[in-house]
Structure 1
């Protein structure tokens, strides 16, 4: 439904994006500051956090000796990227106008791949420990903070509108729920017998 609203150029979508951008500017400071624009602090921080989150998720899976889960996680990221690319072409929403008034960069705005990947990483992290344990709650807290920080960073980076970020989170949830079920399966136990 969000895809249809964004593709149709719905006024409510534009109003929400403008409100979110204004709030980000109020919280983070003037739009001409170093936080804004491609290559600005927000862009660098968001990308660095996403990279760190991905390395942490894969590291947890490898530490727990779950190579099949690593393959599922990488496969999920590949599927997410393919769907994100297809949706971007289908919706063809331009990137936001930079705060400095220059022309937007090439590419499509909807959905945000950074937000989708961060959400997928959160679901992978939640699939590893038992639900309700202290480790699970820690993963939920850290993973949610990752999704929020990466998602919010895309707006002052002039990389996405707020609804692009919301679309990315929804895409990450859709792919992540499938991947998390596979990642959460217990590893096969060795039988103790050698097969020849």
Structure 2
């Protein structure tokens, strides 16, 4: 099954859910689904990178729209994410941490590479995106979940959420298999999600 755009998605979801009023609340419901997906998915289509130069204080701004940080690299070496001492007002060792959308480090006036995960492009704004093209069932199931929650049908919501989780799990596995040939790879240090506590033990 394929769904070409935002409008077709709302029509299909409305017919499946038996709710002709769904399109009038599409922006809100699709936004809720995408907010959830941005927290759960870390796949190749979300990967991005940029090269920036830190300022004299060792600070640099993470590009807008980031939802997860894969890592920071200097001279092709992964920079460790470290604890920061608010008492000493200095780093406990070489590395960086994040504060909001800012990377703070002791790499002053240096060129660094930030590898991050960007948010899934909004369907309401862009009409379509790579996820709707690849897996429309994820969006349809996400909307079924949100519609059930809105109707206070928590049993139906739980079933839809369980199916959504299954779809996301399969999508992540397929993405990993395509990139790494089913080989499990430890990237070292994992990823850092936007909004997470910055205090992390050095890897």
Give the TM-score normalised by structure 2: 0.29
Q: Which has the higher strand share?
A: 2
TM-score, scaled to structure 1: 0.29
Larger radius of gyration: 2
